[in-house]
Amino acid sequence: MSHDHSSQNGNNSNSDEQRSNNQPTKSLRERMSQDLQLRGMAQRTHDGYLREVRKLAGHYHTPPDQLSEQQVADYLLYLINDCEFAPGSLRVAYSGLKFFYKYTEPRDWKVLTKLRIPKQKTLPDVLSIDEVHRLIAAVRQPRNRAYFWATYTLGLRMSEALSLQIGDIDAERMLVHVHRGKGAKDRFVTLPHSTLHVLRSYWKTHRNPTLLFPQIGRTKKEGPTTSRPMDPSTVQGCIKDVVSELGFTKQVSIHTLRHSIATHLFEAGVSLRWIQKFLGHKNLQTTLVYLHLTDPKEEDGRKTHDDIADAGTLFDNMFPPPGEPPIGPDNDPHRNRKPR
């Protein structure tokens, strides 16, 4: 009996070992991706860190788990001296490598703790209210024009605006519930009347049950049913083309719209505390950058916000009445120009 029992245990042990050996080994990328997800990293951080480790491996043509501390140190020096990385770019690269060698392939390396990156002291470019209107007026695709207006007037980050859902809009209280913000923090922002009108008008062109800015796809027919928001490359490419067309010399990106609305509010007299909550800044020091861009005075934030967000004629005839097709190749007055 005891012999049979022992033999049975041995067989079970061998069986468990075989099952373990039959399981596919995860790649370094898969392991790091899971480590990033387990630590709640935002999607942009997740993708950025993976990209930096891939660039390190590509530089040496060697898997990153086979590199030495000196090689990693030499690579960082290469980024600083040869590539002349700006502090922000260097911080992303260093943080990505540090994460990999701390969690995915732990190493007790001094190079992971001794690098000091100087803080950037550059001020962001901002657009005037007139420049914002000129930029948005030059956007001919209804979805992109509505997206830029919402991003500007609500002071949103690119991903926050792309992720907007119908349930986030509180038309009765004139508030927008911003979910999935930086650091996974939620906040409420005031909703200007013009923005509510634009969002409603654009939504009627696709009537997606959840998303305000759904991905419409190549066939232009996915909008009503898709569960995916517009791709970031769509709006990034659009603003790049429009800025080039207008001949703006400032460094303009999607994020410039967020800087611009904050500056316009501050110039109109809204307090820094109100702007801090509006932007979702954890630390007031982050908001204080606008002190260097303009002069302060005090006034009511909600009314001023609504006044600044007056769309004027920007959206006249942009959205067709119910039953009529949205502007397209056959009825677009700019049909001979590249759509944006």
- Catalytic residue annotation: 157, 182, 255, 258, 281, 290
In the chain, which ranges are continuous DSSP H helix? Answer: 2-22, 28-38, 43-60, 69-77, 87-99, 111-114, 129-137, 142-154, 158-162, 193-203, 232-246, 254-267, 272-279, 284-287, 301-308
Chain-centroid distance of CA 109 in Å reads: 32
Distance between CA atoms of residues 2 and 302, nearest Å:
82
Length of the chain measured in residues:
340
CB 85 within 8 A of CB 79: yes
Q: What is the DSSP string of 284-302?
A: HHHHGGGGGTS----B-HH
Classify residue 66 as exposed, middle or buried by CB count within 10 Å of its CB (0-12, 13-18, 19+): exposed
Residues 6 or more apart whose CB falls under 8 angstroms from that of 175 comprise 188, 189, 190, 191
Distance between CA atoms of residues 282 and 269, nearest Å:
21
Strand order in the sheet with 187-190: 169-170, 175-178, 187-190
Distance between CA atoms of residues 57 and 105, nearest Å:
14
